[in-house]
């Protein structure tokens, strides 16, 4: 076992104090929440998964929960670890070794989606409590008979025993998030009339029997943790009172060791389980403190966008929780714990709650992060890039997130780097997004990049536009061109409106509204050919300034390029602000006689309609790279790397990844 020899006081004495739970000692209170990684191939952990979990343990998490392990044959999938199969034990042992060697305890997750499904279409193999549709996919499951339930319980318990033999310290049963056990707990999805349905006693029976069977198979010490549903925001399902009754019923038998509570369900409220893009950080602490009163002695974990060690420390000292679970924040920085403990909080790369990580796994790719281009690399915790063979003077033109990422990585390799930015502040369009409702957390991306840049000696020439006229003044051995992109004016706008600046693009409009508190009576039309988060964040800001906001798009719905979870939140906010959405239309143009009328054409049948009271129009459209300097630089024979939107318009994830790769390569 590798022991931590770092000494010294910490600003978070409770967060970094040890605790014994269920006879298992934890060296601190930092826990890694379960995260599906898509780093499993053919039922076996890849090296990437072993790195990923090992890095979180090495980086300071005393408790690490795996992603769901298939422990019954029915529950098998090729991208799940094979807890049901003795032949797969070696791979699972490697995982246990990778975590336990850091004096961290590894727990496997017991989870079954039941009828739950995110993808389009139905799941014909689903089973569940009652023949009722999943709230998202409308999958109607096969109803489990009591004998099926008994068989599953036996197999789960045997699977947990197998994990114990492989060196795991316990398991966590995922009974929230709208999955199978949640479906049994909820009176909305469980309408059974046998012993597994009905009142709280009946609906908790499956889970209670499962816990007892696991305990009988594994004995003690072997941690059994419960991830329970808090209020799930589904009408007729679980509210705070019923979840408290469920918690009390489970605690009465005393066979598990700790619990956590999570929000939302596999329904329109799915987004609640990963809070953050709008609203405060750590939003569930009051609810958790209240739910733990169902059995105050049960050790309690707090989950839900806890990013700051101060928040964690406070939740421990004010009696909310005994453990702090971090999901996304540990994807972004595996060394969150070590950095907080040793007074290096400023070096933490913070989660920005963009939920790109979720998107990458739902789309079936390996886990990635907008603010950590190295998820699952071997040396992720205390990474230092290898020094460059030849030290160069590098000019990075453009101070957006692609340019900044390339700059600090190149400087960390020993290059002499200068960043030129036209604006007085670094961050590019991400900074603008961070000023809009729900974008606030994004500032952590460029704040970290600037800090890392300064640490490695990057010079910042902000407020300096580099163009055709002064490019020759920039002395460098290599150039990184990261000059972003500009929205193209849509064809329906008369050219003079664009030339005269009557109709600004959405970014220009947001800049002009900065710091203003005006509110105009009339309609602003936002033409949406973008469908990413920033457009809707800007629409919310427009609702502060205009009495009516109408979004017009040729697509079937809004936010098609946004993952389901974030799209739910966007729709919630747009409806809350009474923002009008008009789909399947293209603007045909402004009425020549009455400029307050915008004419629309249905994209399918050509029918026309109109919007009245239009006092302003703006657009969020496909972007065109600002790559004018590329030609000049390459013609002059300079080593030139074109990145970010300037290469081709792209997401935050693609921009930071490309910046990182360029910084490593140059
Ligand atoms: C990419 C991703 C995958 C997740 N996979 C699981 C999972 O398999 N099982 C589970 O119980 N929770 C899963 N979660 C939820 C997290 O464990 C956690 O409850 C949630 O992210 C809120 O915590 P956070 O705000 O610290 O991220 C996942 C979350 C993310 C972002």
Q: List pLDDT tens digits, range 605-632.
A: 999 999 999 999 999 999 999 999 999 9
Q: Where are the beta strands (DSSP E) in 220-365?
A: 223-229, 258-262, 300-302, 323-326
CB burial readout 111-141, b (16+ within 10 A) else e: bbbbbbbeeeebbeebbbbbebebbbbebbb
Rounded distance from Cα 100 to ligand 1 centre (Å): 21
Rounded distance from Cα 327 to ligand 1 centre (Å): 5
Q: Whose CA is nearest to atom 5 of ligand 1?
A: 35
Q: What is 517-555 written as a DSSP string?
A: ---EEEEEEEEES--SHHHHHHHHHHHHHEEEEEEE-SS
| Cα–Cα separations (whole angstroms), residue 560 to 227, 362, 387, 420, 532 | 31, 15, 42, 35, 8
**Residue to substitute in 30, 31, 35, 83 for testing ligand 1 pocket (most ligand atoms within 8 angstroms of CB):** 35
Query: What distance lies between CA 408 and its chain's CA centroid?
Result: 24
Atom from ligand 1 closest to the CA of residue 351:
27
Atom from ligand 1 closest to the CA of residue 358:
1
Give, in degrees to the nearest 5, the angle at Cα 445 between 285 and 334. 65
- The helix/strand/coil state of 58 is helix
3-state secondary structure 98-134: HHHCCCCEEEEEECCCCCCCCCCCCCCCCEECCCCCC
Q: Whose CA is nearest to atom 25 of ligand 1?
A: 305
CB-based contact 309:318 (threshold 8 Å): no
- The helix/strand/coil state of 65 is strand
Give, in degrees to the nearest 5, the angle at Cα 334 between 329 and 338. 105
**Rounded CA gap, 564 and 180, in Å?**
20
What pLDDT score was predicted for residue 4? 54
CB-based contact 419:379 (threshold 8 Å): no
Rounded distance from Cα 662 to ligand 1 centre (Å): 31
Rounded distance from Cα 218 to ligand 1 centre (Å): 26
Tell me the average pLDDT of the chain: 95
Rounded distance from Cα 512 to ligand 1 centre (Å): 38
CB-based contact 642:396 (threshold 8 Å): no
Q: Whose CA is nearest to atom 29 of ligand 1?
A: 35
What pLDDT score was predicted for residue 71? 87
Rounded distance from Cα 330 to ligand 1 centre (Å): 11
Atom from ligand 1 closest to the CA of residue 260:
19
Q: Whose CA is nearest to atom 18 of ligand 1?
A: 327
The sign of the dihedral angle between the CA atoms of 168, 169, 173, 176 is negative
pTM value is 0.96
Q: Where are the beta strands (DSSP E) in 101-254?
A: 105-110, 127-128, 142-143, 170-174, 223-229
CB-based contact 445:422 (threshold 8 Å): no
What pLDDT score was predicted for residue 2? 58
**Rounded CA gap, 74 and 65, in Å?**
22
- The helix/strand/coil state of 498 is helix
Burial of 66 (C-beta count, 10 Å sphere; 0-12/13-18/19+): buried
| Cα–Cα separations (whole angstroms), residue 187 to 197, 243, 251, 339, 382 | 8, 11, 20, 44, 48
Tell me what the mean pLDDT of segment 323-338 comes to: 98
Rounded distance from Cα 284 to ligand 1 centre (Å): 15
Tell me what the mean pLDDT of segment 304-322 comes to: 97
Q: Where are the alpha helices (DSSP H) in 395-553?
A: 401-412, 428-434, 443-455, 495-499, 506-513, 533-545
Instruction: Find the range with the poorest average confidence among 69-73, 268-272, 402-406, 568-572.
Output: 69-73
Rounded distance from Cα 69 to ligand 1 centre (Å): 15
Per-residue pLDDT at 1 exceeds 70: no
Q: How confident is the model at residue 76 (pLDDT cuts 50, 70, 90)?
A: confident
**Rounded CA gap, 438 and 436, in Å?**
6
Measured between its terminal Cα atoms, the distance across the chain in Å is 39
Atom from ligand 1 closest to the CA of residue 227:
11
- The helix/strand/coil state of 320 is coil
Per-residue pLDDT at 322 exceeds 60: yes
Per-residue pLDDT at 595 exceeds 80: no
Tell me what the mean pLDDT of segment 303-330 comes to: 97
**Residue to substitute in 34, 262, 356, 362 for testing ligand 1 pocket (most ligand atoms within 8 angstroms of CB):** 34
Rounded distance from Cα 279 to ligand 1 centre (Å): 18
**Residue to substitute in 274, 277, 348 for testing ligand 1 pocket (most ligand atoms within 8 angstroms of CB):** 274
Atom from ligand 1 closest to the CA of residue 179:
11
Q: Which residues line ligand 1 (CB under 6 A)?
A: 33-36, 67-68, 109, 111, 174, 177, 227, 262, 273-274, 303-305, 326-329, 357-358, 361
What pLDDT score was predicted for residue 243? 98
Atom from ligand 1 closest to the CA of residue 68:
8
**Rounded CA gap, 253 and 245, in Å?**
13
Q: How confident is the model at residue 254 (pLDDT cuts 50, 70, 90)?
A: confident
**Residue to substitute in 32, 33, 330, 348 for testing ligand 1 pocket (most ligand atoms within 8 angstroms of CB):** 33
**Rounded CA gap, 612 and 664, in Å?**
54
Give me the residue label for tokens 């549709």.
Answer: 133
Q: Where are the beta strands (DSSP E) in 279-413?
A: 300-302, 323-326, 393-397
Calculate helix-pair angle for 506-513, 533-545, nearest 10 degrees: 40
Of 329, 321, 322, 263, nearest to 35 by C-alpha is 329
**Rounded CA gap, 284 and 240, in Å?**
12
Rounded distance from Cα 600 to ligand 1 centre (Å): 42
Q: Whose CA is nearest to atom 16 of ligand 1?
A: 327
Atom from ligand 1 closest to the CA of residue 67:
8
Tell me what the mean pLDDT of segment 407-414 comes to: 98
Rounded distance from Cα 262 to ligand 1 centre (Å): 10
Tell me what the mean pLDDT of segment 462-489 comes to: 96
Rounded distance from Cα 310 to ligand 1 centre (Å): 21
Q: How confident is the model at residue 280 (pLDDT cuts 50, 70, 90)?
A: confident
Atom from ligand 1 closest to the CA of residue 306:
26
Rg (C-alpha) for the chain, rounded Å, is 27
Of 274, 228, 280, nearest to 249 by C-alpha is 228
Rounded distance from Cα 415 to ligand 1 centre (Å): 38
Rounded distance from Cα 226 to ligand 1 centre (Å): 14
**Rounded CA gap, 409 and 415, in Å?**
9
Per-residue pLDDT at 385 exceeds 90: yes
What pLDDT score was predicted for residue 590? 82
Task: Give the pLDDT confidence of 119-159 residue by residue, as tens digits.
Answer: 888 999 999 999 999 999 999 999 999 999 999 999 999 99
Length of the chain: 666
Task: Give the pLDDT confidence of 194-251 residue by residue, as tens digits.
Answer: 999 999 999 999 999 999 999 999 999 999 999 999 999 999 999 999 999 999 999 9
Rounded distance from Cα 408 to ligand 1 centre (Å): 30
Per-residue pLDDT at 77 exceeds 90: no
- The helix/strand/coil state of 62 is coil
**Rounded CA gap, 564 and 570, in Å?**
10
Please list, in sequence order, all residues whose beta carbon lies within 8 angstroms of the beta carbon of residue 439, skipping any fewer than 6 positions away: 433, 533, 534, 537
Rounded distance from Cα 611 to ligand 1 centre (Å): 43
Please list, in sequence order, all residues whose beta carbon lies within 8 angstroms of the beta carbon of residue 406, skipping any fewer than 6 positions away: 396, 480, 482, 641, 643, 658, 659, 660, 662, 663, 666
**Rounded CA gap, 200 and 243, in Å?**
9
Atom from ligand 1 closest to the CA of residue 33:
17
What pLDDT score was predicted for residue 7? 46
Atom from ligand 1 closest to the CA of residue 34:
17
| Cα–Cα separations (whole angstroms), residue 266 to 177, 246, 303, 400, 406 | 6, 19, 18, 36, 39
């Amino acid at each position: 076992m590798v022991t931590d020899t770092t000494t010294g006081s910490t600003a978070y004495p409770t967060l970094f104090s040890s605790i014994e739970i269920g006879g298992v000692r934890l060296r601190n209170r930092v826990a890694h929440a379960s995260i599906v990684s898509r780093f499993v191939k053919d039922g076996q952990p890849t090296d990437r998964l072993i790195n990923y979990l090992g890095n979180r343990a090495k980086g300071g998490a005393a408790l690490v929960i795996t992603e769901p392990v298939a422990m019954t044959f029915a529950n098998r999938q090729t991208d799940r670890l094979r807890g049901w199969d003795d032949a797969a034990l070696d791979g699972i042992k490697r995982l246990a070794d990778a975590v336990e060697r850091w004096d961290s305890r590894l727990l496997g997750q017991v989870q079954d989606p039941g009828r739950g499904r995110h993808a389009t279409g139905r799941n014909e193999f689903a089973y569940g409590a009652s023949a009722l549709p999943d709230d998202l996919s409308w999958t109607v499951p096969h109803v489990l008979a009591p004998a099926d339930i008994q068989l599953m319980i036996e197999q789960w318990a045997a699977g947990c025993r197998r994990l114990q033999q492989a060196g795991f310290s316990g398991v966590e049963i995922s009974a929230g998030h709208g999955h199978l056990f949640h479906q049994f707990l909820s009176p909305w999805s469980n309408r059974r009339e046998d012993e597994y349905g009905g009142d709280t006693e009946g609906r908790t029976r499956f889970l209670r029997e499962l816990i007892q069977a696991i305990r009988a198979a594994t004995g003690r010490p072997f941690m059994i943790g419960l991830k329970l549903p808090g209020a799930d925001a589904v009408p007729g399902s679980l509210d705070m009172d019923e979840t408290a009754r469920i918690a009390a019923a489970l605690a009465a038998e005393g066979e598990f060791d700790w619990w956590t509570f999570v929000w939302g369900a596999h329904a329109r409220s799915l987004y609640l389980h990963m809070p953050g893009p709008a609203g405060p950080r750590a939003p569930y602490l009051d609810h958790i403190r209240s739910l733990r009163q169902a059995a105050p002695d049960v050790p309690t974990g707090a989950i839900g966008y806890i990013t700051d060690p101060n928040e964690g420390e406070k939740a421990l000292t004010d009696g909310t929780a005994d453990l702090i679970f971090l999901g996304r924040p540990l994807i972004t920085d595996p060394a969150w714990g070590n950095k907080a403990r040793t007074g290096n909080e400023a070096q933490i790369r913070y989660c920005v709650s963009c939920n790109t990580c979720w998107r990458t796994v739902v789309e079936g790719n390996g886990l990635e992060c907008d603010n950590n281009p190295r998820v699952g690399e071997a040396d992720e915790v205390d990474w230092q890039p290898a020094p460059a063979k030849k030290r160069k003077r590098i000019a990075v033109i453009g101070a957006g997130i692609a340019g900044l990422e390339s700059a600090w990585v190149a400087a960390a390799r020993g290059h002499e780097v200068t960043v030129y930015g036209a604006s007085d502040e670094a961050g590019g369009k991400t900074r603008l997004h961070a000023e809009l409702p729900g974008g606030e957390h994004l500032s952590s991306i460029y704040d970290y990049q600037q800090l890392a840049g300064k640490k490695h000696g990057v010079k910042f020439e902000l407020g300096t536009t580099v163009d055709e006229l002064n490019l020759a003044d920039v002395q460098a051995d290599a150039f990184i061109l990261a000059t972003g992109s500009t929205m193209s004016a849509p064809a329906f706008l008369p050219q003079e409106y664009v030339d005269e600046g009557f109709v600004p693009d959405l970014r220009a409009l947001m800049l002009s509204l900065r710091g203003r508190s005006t509110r105009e009576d009339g309609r602003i039309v936002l033409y949406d050919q973008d469908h990413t988060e920033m457009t809707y964040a800007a629409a919310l800001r427009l609702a502060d300034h205009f009495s009516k906001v109408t979004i017009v798009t040729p697509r079937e719905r809004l936010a098609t390029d946004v993952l389901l979870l974030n799209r739910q939140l966007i729709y919630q906010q747009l409806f809350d602000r009474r923002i009008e959405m008009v789909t399947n239309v293209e603007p045909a143009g402004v009425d020549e006689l009455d400029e307050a009328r915008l004419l629309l054409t249905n994209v399918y049948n050509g029918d026309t309609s109109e919007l009245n009271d239009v006092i302003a129009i703006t657009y969020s459209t496909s972007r065109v790279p600002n790559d004018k300097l590329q030609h000049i630089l390459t013609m002059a024979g300079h080593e030139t790397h074109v990145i970010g939107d300037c290469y081709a318009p792209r997401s935050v994830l693609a921009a930071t990844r490309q910046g990182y790769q360029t910084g490593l390569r140059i």
